[in-house]
Structure 1
Amino acid sequence: MTTPPGAGWRLPALHYPFPPEIHPDAGAAEAHVRQWARRQGLVTTDAEYAAVAAARFGDVVAREFPGATPAGLRLACEIYVWHFVFDDRYCDEPHHGSDTAGLAAAALRMLTTAEEALAGTRAPHLPGAPWPGPAGDPCARALADICHHLAALGTPAHLERFLAAERMYLLGVLTQSAAVQTGTPPSVGDYLTMRYYNCATPVALAVLDAAYGFELPDADHRHPDVRRLCRITAHVNGWANDVLSYGRESTRPGAAPLNLPTVLAADRNIGPQQALEEAARMHNEEIAAYLALEARVGEHAGPLLLRYLGGLRSMMRGFYDWGLATDRYRVGTHFTARERP
């Protein structure tokens, strides 16, 4: 469902009862995003560089990882800008997003490169230099470079979690591409499952503790309540993204938007504003569910798990604060009013 600009949408209230935070090295994070993206060949033209700069990806990382170590902050910056570039290059644009076969080949290339890079993590590699292979695909080379940085910063458990999350992310974007290519909107349930993986928040959660300089014990990481809190965090960020980016996605020339409001509108035969309000209601219910479960988990949590839970809060609130201001979504352009929480 595409609606022309100037439709007068109201941005519904998204509730975040967590205080905003930002890393003291936010400026350095922004500089690192731009330098690393250019060095890896993810941006090659002045226009691409300007788009990365305007989006301020370093800002979202600094807000989502306010307590990260300097090395952890740089790693998170690389992971985030990689996913945004990959999403734009292979998923969002019509000439790529409608080519599921091409996307599948790209996904397989990314995973193969990442796993081959990790198989040689002990090979000589100059810190800060791009991983040398494979030639011809900057996204693949950049992902391999990320794997090497994570291998140096984290533990084998972090690497396993990261690759598992990355595989599911790529499966999620493939599922989205197939839905766009067939022109058949998924059911709400199918979309929510797809969105959990392709929002890339599970990838960020896989390295959250590594970025903060510790490893969450496996018993805590695998606990059903902690996994549920992580799933809620991904829902909150994915659905907030869908609401905040709705205007941009719906008004882009040639767009075939697939997001929570469009799926709700098709499933329930409602208009755009009603669909936005329903998406916001679902989001706010997830926040309430998170708070109730977090309180129970926190009663018996040790220091490391409490730090991890604090990171989940920052990840949700940080994305929202960035999403309201980033040039990538241009919330002020596409929404004529904003409802206050």
Structure 2
Amino acid sequence: MPPDKVAAYADSLCYTDLVAGYYIGAPESLLSAVADLSSWFFGWDDRHDRDAVHGRAAGWRRLCAGLHETLQDPWAQRHHKDPLVAGFADCVLRLFAHLGPRWNARFARHFHPVIDAYDHEFGNRRTGTVPSVEAYVELRRLTFAHWIWIDLLEPTARYELPDAVRKHPAYRAAALATQDFSAWYNDLCSLPKELAGDEVHNLGISLIHHEGLSVQEAVREVHRRVSECVTDFLAVEPEVLGIADALLDGSAEGRKVSAALQSCVFNMRNWFSSVYWFHHESGRYRVENWDDQSLPPYVSDAPGPDVPECGETVPESVGGQE
């Protein structure tokens, strides 16, 4: 952002505040890195939007390639000329300092599909393709980076969960409920600005386009699904806590795993209140305060580094995701 926009908007966007309630108990260095990753995500999302609107396909492809390369070797990308790539490398290196190679490899493995999903959305946006409700739900679980935010519960707990715990159906169901809530509540609050900006990726927009719902009916249906996520979490939470109790076998290792799992479930629960708070505090969603409802006042239309200007021809396939 230009300095005047930083002064006017940065604090009120509450990007760094967003994760404070997600990861209670995290070391300060981890919380700082996650907060910066959250801010980076919003910057990446806005670049995605502007590049799609202006047809900057070559620049977008370079950005995606740089992000994929960063996951393979973040040290090599620390001084990349695109600040989004360099910033991502900085965040990844700081996150990788906490749990070790196995967790780091999993984080990278989970992030590659997030980049590809954003690339797929870029193609949809350029062709005006609104995904079906079912296709959108699956795509959203990637673009919201569900499993990235869930992975970050473990360094918060200072312990890598065993696969048997992390892959347990009850743990995964609880995690999915928190993330679907967060993604769909975001869709609910983003709907006015995304309708104004001719966006095609929003649960409400898929419901309007494919199910024939009115805007008001779509809002009610998204609200119903959001509320159902809370019910689903509350239904499965006791089972996950029961797993934590069963891990207390008298050994030191059992106590560590149990405590880590309890920390993860505690912070899963915190997602609901944190996401709700953020969307009602952040200036990002106060569309009635913008002169142009399709474009937040702090977002620049200028292209990124070495990105062609408007009017570039878009190939039939963008990044191999068609």
Matched, 1:326 2:271: no
Of residues 99-108 and 140-149 in structure 1, the stretch that sits farther from structure 2 once superposed is: 99-108
How far apart are 1:57 and its partner, in Å? 1.0
* TM-aligned CA distance change 1:59 to 1:331, over 3 Å: farther
Matched, 1:164 2:109: yes
* TM-aligned CA distance change 1:72 to 1:185, over 3 Å: same
How far apart are 1:99 and its partner, in Å? 4.8
Q: Find the aligned partners of 2:276 and 2:82 in 1 and give their Cα distance.
A: 32
Matched, 1:92 2:37: no
How far apart are 1:153 and its partner, in Å? 2.2
How far apart are 1:191 and its partner, in Å? 0.3
CA RMSD of aligned residues (A): 2.3
How far apart are 1:48 and its partner, in Å? 4.9
Q: Find the aligned partners of 1:74 and 1:285 in 2 and give their Cα distance.
A: 32
How far apart are 1:332 and its partner, in Å? 7.4
TM-score with structure 2 setting the length: 0.78
Is the 1:57–1:81 Cα contact (8 Å) retained in structure 2?
A: yes
Matched, 1:77 2:35: yes
Is the 1:78–1:146 Cα contact (8 Å) retained in structure 2?
A: yes
How far apart are 1:141 and its partner, in Å? 1.0
SS of match in other structure, 2:243: coil
Q: Find the aligned partners of 1:279 and 1:54 in 2 and give their Cα distance.
A: 26
Q: Tell me the alpha carbon deviations over residues 122-177 of structure 1, each in whole angstroms, 9 at most, x when there is no partner.
A: xxxxxxxxx7432x111111111112212222222321222122112112212222
TM-score with structure 1 setting the length: 0.74
Q: Find the aligned partners of 2:234 and 2:61 in 1 and give their Cα distance.
A: 38
SS of match in other structure, 2:121: helix
* TM-aligned CA distance change 1:310 to 1:102, over 3 Å: same
SS of match in other structure, 1:57: coil
Gaps of 5+ in 1: 1-42, 121-130, 335-341
* TM-aligned CA distance change 1:114 to 1:96, over 3 Å: farther
Aligned position for 1:303:
259
Is the 2:170–2:239 Cα contact (8 Å) retained in structure 1?
A: no
How far apart are 1:100 and its partner, in Å? 5.2
Is the 1:220–1:226 Cα contact (8 Å) retained in structure 2?
A: yes
Aligned position for 1:103:
60
Gaps of 5+ in 2: 245-257, 291-322
How far apart are 1:193 and its partner, in Å? 0.3
Matched, 1:233 2:178: yes
User: What one-letter code is carried by the residue in structure 1 that aligns with 2:65?
Assistant: L
SS of match in other structure, 1:63: coil
Of residues 189-198 and 314-323 in structure 1, the stretch that sits farther from structure 2 once superposed is: 314-323
How far apart are 1:318 and its partner, in Å? 0.7
How far apart are 1:269 and its partner, in Å? 0.9
Is the 2:20–2:31 Cα contact (8 Å) retained in structure 1?
A: yes
Aligned position for 1:180:
125
Aligned position for 2:71:
114
Question: What are the residue-to-residue correspondences of 1:121-136 with 2, within 5 Å?
Answer: 132-134=78-80, 136=81
Q: Which residue among 203, 224, 230 is the counterpart of 1:260? A: 203
How many residues are treated as equivalent by the alignment?
277
